[in-house]
Structure formats: C-alpha cells, structure tokens
C-alpha cells in the first residue's frame, strides 16, 4: 500500500492521527505529515479508515 | 445471528460525502453485489466545505473540490446514476422510483440526500443567492469583487465564511443577524462576541439584533435589503444563509418516520432494510442522550461508513456514537470543535485567552463535559478534550490547568 497526502487540502482535523497514529502526524499548524508512505500490514486498516473519513479528501491510497 | 436474506443489491440515494463514503465502505468490507449510487446533481461527487472558502475566493479551481479521482470512482464498480432524482420510496416492494420512471429494486437502501438551504419566500431575482452547490458558488464568485456590495442574511457558520471570503475579494459586506451575537446558541456568548469582533476587525458591517423586512428588487435585479426598523441596506448581491431543511420530500408516503430528517435508531436503521446517513439523518446519540441531526462534513463520512457496516452485518452493528467534529475558517482564523455544543448550560475558557486571539473553551451540559472549541489554537490541543468528552467526564473533575497533551 502506498499513501499520499495533499497537504494544501488538509484542514487539520486530526482524524487520520486518531485512526492511524503510526502513519500520520500533524505539524504545529495541524497539517498532516506522513510518518511512512508504505504502512505495514498491521496499520493498513487504520489507514483505509483514515482516508475514508478525512473531511478534506486529502489522503489517497494506492493498493498494490 | 440474523435470519434476514443476504443483501445482493444496495441502492444509495445521494451521491455526496455520505453516499459516496457508504459505497466505498461496502466495497472495503468485501461486498461484491450491485451498488447503485443515485445523485440528483450532474457532477461527479464533490466536496462542499471548499465552496464557501477556496472555491468562492477563486484560490482553487473547481476541480480541486472533487471528492475522488474518476479512476478511483471507476474502481468501485458502481452503477452511478448522476443527474437522476429519486422521487418515491415503496418499502413494501423495496423499490426506489427515479424521476424518469425507472424503478430500482433493493435489498438494502441508504438514504443520504442531505439538506437544502432554507429560502426567503418569493425571492428569485438574480443576485439573491443561497450556497449549497457548485453552481451556487460559481454564480456568487462571478459577481463578488471590489466595489460590489454584499448583504448576508444570517451570521451562522456559512454566512460568516462567505462574509470573510467576500471581504478578501474586496467586496463591501454587511451581515444581518436576528440574535444579539453570532452563533451564541451554539458556541456561547464569549466565542460569539469574539467572532463578532473578528468580523468588525476585517471591515464587515455586522448588524445584530435586527430583523430583515424584505429583499428589494428593481427591474429584476436585487437592490437591497430592508430591516424592520426601516433601515435600507443597498446591495448588488444578497446571500440568504438562514439554515437548511432535510431533503426528505421524496420519502413522503413511504411510512418512514420523518421529523426534521429521517429518524433512525442508534444503528442508523430507519425501516426494514433502510438506513440513513449524513446531514439528512436524525438518530439517537447514546453519548449525549439526545436525538441529533448533525450537519458536519466528518459526520457525513463516519455515518456513511457506519450505515454500510450496519447494513452488511446488522447482528454486529454497534451504536453510532462518534464525538462530532467540525471546523470553520473565517478571516484566516480556524475554529475547530468536538462534541455537542448547542444549548449547553455553561462555557468556560480553559486555555489561552480571547484577548490574545487564541483560546480553548469547554462546554458543560447537565453535569458533564459535552464539548470543546478552539479558536486559532494548535489543533492537537483539542485531542485530550475530545477523549475527555468521549469518556463522559464529569464537569467537576475537569482539570483547571490545561490537560496534558
Ligand atoms: C458551503 C458549505 C460549507 C461547509 N463548510 C463546512 C465546514 O467548514 N466544516 C464542516 O464540518 N462542514 C461544512 N459543511 C457541511 C458539509 O458539507 C455537509 O455536512 C456534508 O456535505 C453533508 O454530506 P451529505 O452527503 O450528508 O449531504 P449533501 O452534501 O447535502 O449531499 C446530498 C446529495 O443528495 C442529492 N439529493 C438530494 N435529494 C435527492 C434525491 N431525491 N434524489 C437523488 N439525489 C438527491 C443532493 O443533490 C446532494 O448531492 C459545509 C456545507 C456547505 C454547503
Ligand atoms: S484527516 Fe485529513 S484533514 Fe484531517 S488532519 Fe488528516 S489529512 Fe488533514
């Protein structure tokens, strides 16, 4: 799985961090930062959930 | 275990945040049956929050508001019926009828038809706007700019965001509001006063405690707005931002319980095989012990997912009990909130200071902490408060000092 984030779209909601704290973080302004763009198997469900609920549609996944 | 027949055909009505997220969740959960997604609008699903922000200011091209890439939509294998309006639901035969007469049979249905703006009766002159769709945003953007005069009726989140966007485009903006402070019933007097000052600092002429008489039109063009005290506010454009109404007309006669939305139980079930999600859904929220209908973007997605899961595995469904979240951007300041703030009993500044323009407010309803709102704070400051709301924290045990992050 490959993860991409569109930082200018991010609205700093933090939903992704709540769902996959090992993959997403937020900077001081709350903007999403990726801790890894290739999450391990144990984190993938959380990442899928985060991409689905992100209120800015700022997370995109490529399943491979 | 349930004895219900397996679900093979799902129909989702409403192709926006809630409906699309539900369709995606069905596929993510491994559902391989037919999914028909019906949407009245002609566009591929797009997002509404940018309409009053980056789309209205022109900072983003409209394509940027798309919810998903066309290739990602294709991969879902949906029967996507855009430009199609559902006009009737017949629960006995489990069919949805579309405006063109087509009938869609379903084993399970998700109602995700959202809301539409409330209007002032009889006002259709060019220059009188509501803002819900991409067309609405385009129409406004073409007309707003330096030297133009906009009157916004209603100082809610939508009216306030549009006022801010219009100011950034150089328009002169007057906002009229019946209440003494903007948004006070939701966010409290302290935050309401802060938002009022923010408007004034940015050159918005905010008139509170006033009532609109009528919108005046000359020669088919809007001319201004009169207030009941006789004041005339000249305008080239008027935005009516006085709340919204759930899109449930098409469900009339279906036997579903319609009461300011589609009434569901805590698993989002509205009737046999019928679920609801998003702005249109009213459900019993166990955390707040109240029946809520939430018009927030995050709720639409969370509820779409929950409805899809409840539909696939009713026996495993858990009560839908998220901590609601919303944000709003006004004059470059971000407001974020968790919980259920409306009609709270008490609000206290718990971090920062309004005078410094950055602060966090906690809300009490009954004995409990039920909400938290941050103005221009680092967003992470809210996370412990979110957890405390979810944990049903007693107000008396709240730390007076900031919660540890
Ligand atoms: C301008 C604007 C700014 C916003 N900003 C924010 C914000 O900053 N933060 C925030 O949290 N929330 C914000 N929101 C709210 C957020 O956009 C909504 O909560 C969200 O769009 C709800 O999604 P939904 O899918 O439930 O409903 P909707 O987005 O309303 O979608 C419902 C869809 O169903 C279609 N439909 C209706 N009736 C029928 C029918 N009979 N047949 C077929 N299709 C039908 C409609 O055409 C529509 O496309 C904003 C909303 C607007 C309008
Ligand atoms: S969920 Fe989306 S909007 Fe929220 S912080 Fe993560 S990327 Fe940003």
Counting atoms of ligand 2 from 1, which one is nearest the CA of A5?
7
* Phi and psi angles of residue B15, each rounded to the nearest 5 degrees, phi first: -110, 55
Do A1 and A44 form a contact (C-beta atoms < 8 A)?
Answer: yes
Q: Does the beta carbon of B67 lie inside 6 Å of ligand 1? A: no
Place of tokens 């000092």: B401
DSSP for residue B46: B
- How far apart CA B322 and CA A57 sit, in angstroms, is 19
CB contact under 8 A, B21 and A53: yes
Which pLDDT belongs to residue B123?
74
Counting atoms of ligand 2 from 1, which one is nearest the CA of A57?
2
Which pLDDT belongs to residue B2?
45
* Full-model pTM: 0.96
How many beta carbons lie within 10 A of that of residue B405, not counting itself? Answer: 9
Chain B positions touching A18 (Cβ under 8 A) are: 383, 386
Q: Does the beta carbon of A47 lie inside 6 Å of ligand 2? A: no
Counting atoms of ligand 2 from 1, which one is nearest the CA of A12?
5
- ipTM for the predicted complex comes to 0.96
B119-240: what fold? FAD/NAD(P)-binding domain (3.50.50)
Give rounded-to-5 percent helix, strand, coil for chain B. 25, 35, 40
- How far apart CA A62 and CA A60 sit, in angstroms, is 7
Task: Please report, for residues B213, B231, B234, the alpha-carbon distance to residue B225 in angstroms, rounded to integers and kept in the order given.
Answer: 7, 8, 6
- In this structure, which CATH number among 3.30.390.30, 2.30.31.10, 3.10.20.30, 3.20.20.140 belongs to the domain B332-397? 3.30.390.30
Domains B9-116+244-316 and B119-240 fall in the same CATH topology: yes
- How far apart CA B153 and CA B150 sit, in angstroms, is 10
pLDDT digits (tens, 9 = 90+) for A5-61: 999 999 999 999 999 999 999 998 999 999 999 999 999 999 999 999 999 999 999
User: How does strand B128-129 pair with strand B237-240?
Assistant: parallel
CA distance A19 to chain B (A): 12
Per-domain boundaries in chain B: 9-116+244-316, 119-240, 332-397
- How far apart CA B149 and CA B151 sit, in angstroms, is 7
Domains of chain A: 2-62 (3.30.70.20)
CA torsion, points B298, B334, B207, B53, in degrees to nearest 10? Answer: -70
Return averaged pLDDT per consecutive 10 residues of chain B, 405 residues in all.
74 98 97 98 98 97 96 97 98 97 98 96 86 97 95 98 98 98 94 97 98 90 94 97 98 97 97 98 94 97 98 92 96 96 94 95 96 93 93 85 48
Do B122 and B212 form a contact (C-beta atoms < 8 A)?
Answer: no
Interface check for A2 against chain B (CB to CB < 8 A): the answer is no
Which pLDDT belongs to residue B102?
97
Q: B97 in helix, strand or coil? A: strand
Residues in chain B, overall count = 405
- How far apart CA B311 and CA B367 sit, in angstroms, is 35
B150 strand-pairing partners: B173, B237
Closest ligand to residue B252's CA: 1
CB contact under 8 A, B49 and A48: no
Which pLDDT belongs to residue B1?
41
Interface check for A53 against chain B (CB to CB < 8 A): the answer is yes
Task: Please report, for residues B102, B298, B404, the alpha-carbon distance to residue B380 in angstroms, rounded to integers and kept in the order given.
Answer: 49, 17, 11
Nearest to B187 by CA among B179, B107, B320: B179
Residue nearest to atom 6 of ligand 2 (CA): A16
CB contact under 8 A, B302 and A53: yes
What CATH architecture applies to the domain B9-116+244-316?
3-Layer(bba) Sandwich (3.50)
Do A31 and A13 form a contact (C-beta atoms < 8 A)?
Answer: no
Q: Burial level of A40, CB count in 10 A (0-12/13-18/19+)?
A: exposed
DSSP for residue B73: H
User: How does strand B149-153 pair with strand B172-177?
Assistant: parallel
Nearest to B340 by CA among B315, B354, B359, B321: B321
Which pLDDT belongs to residue B405?
42
Nearest to B49 by CA among A32, A54, A29, A60: A54
Which pLDDT belongs to residue B230?
94
Give the residue on A whose Cα is nearest the Cα of B298.
Answer: A55
């Amino acid at each position: 799985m490959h993860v991409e984030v569109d930082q200018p779209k991010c609205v700093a909601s933090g939903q992704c961090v709540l769902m996959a704290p090992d993959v997403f973080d937020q900077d001081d302004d709350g903007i999403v930062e990726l801790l890894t763009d290739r999450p391990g198997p144990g984190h993938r469900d959380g990442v899928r959930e985060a991409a689905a609920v992100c209120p800015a549609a700022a997370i995109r996944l490529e399943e491979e | 275990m349930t004895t219900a027949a397996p679900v093979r055909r799902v129909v989702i009505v409403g192709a926006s945040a809630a409906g699309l997220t539900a369709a995606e969740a069905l596929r993510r959960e491994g559902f391989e049956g037919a999914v028909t997604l019906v949407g009245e609008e002609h566009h591929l699903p797009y997002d509404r929050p940018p309409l009053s922000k980056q789309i209205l200011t022109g900072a983003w091209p409209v394509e940027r508001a798309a919810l998903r890439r066309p290739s990602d939509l294709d991969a879902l294998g949906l029967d996507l019926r855009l430009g199609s309006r559902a006009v009737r639901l017949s629960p006995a035969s489990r069919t949805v009828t579309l405006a063109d007469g087509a009938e869609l049979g379903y084993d399970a249905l998700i109602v995700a038809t959202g809301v539409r703006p409330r209007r002032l009766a009889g006002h259709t002159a060019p220059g009188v706007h509501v803002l819900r769709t991409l067309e609405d945003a385009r129409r406004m953007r073409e007309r707003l700019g330096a030297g133009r005069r906009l009157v916004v009726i209603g100082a809610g989140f939508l009216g306030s965001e549009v006022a801010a966007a219009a100011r950034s485009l150089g328009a002169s903006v007057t906002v009229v509001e019946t209440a003494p402070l903007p948004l006070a019933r939701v966010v409290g007097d302290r935050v309401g006063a802060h938002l009022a000052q923010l408007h004034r600092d940015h050159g918005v002429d905010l008139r509170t405690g006033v009532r609109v008489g009528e919108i005046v039109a000359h020669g088919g063009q809007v001319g201004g707005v009169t207030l009941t005290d006789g004041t005339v506010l000249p305008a080239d454009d008027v935005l009516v931002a006085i709340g919204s109404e759930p899109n449930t007309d098409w469900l009339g006669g279906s036997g579903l319980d319609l009461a300011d939305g589609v009434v569901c139980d805590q698993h989002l079930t509205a009737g046999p095989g019928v679920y609801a999600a998003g702005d249109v859904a009213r459900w019993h929220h166990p955390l707040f012990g109240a029946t809520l209908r939430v018009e927030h973007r995050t709720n639409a997605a969370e509820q779409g997912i929950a409805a899809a899961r409840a539909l696939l595995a009713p026996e495993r469904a858990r009560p839908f009990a998220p901590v609601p979240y919303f944000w709003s951007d006004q004059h470059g300041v971000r407001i974020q909130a968790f919980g259920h703030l409306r009609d709270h009993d008490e609000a206290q500044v718990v971090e920062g200071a309004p005078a410094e323009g950055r602060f966090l407010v906690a809300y009490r309803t009954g004995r409990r902490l039920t909400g938290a709102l941050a103005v221009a704070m680092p967003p992470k400051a809210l996370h412990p408060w979110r957890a405390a709301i979810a944990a049903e924290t007693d107000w008396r045990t709240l730390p007076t000092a900031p919660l540890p992050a």
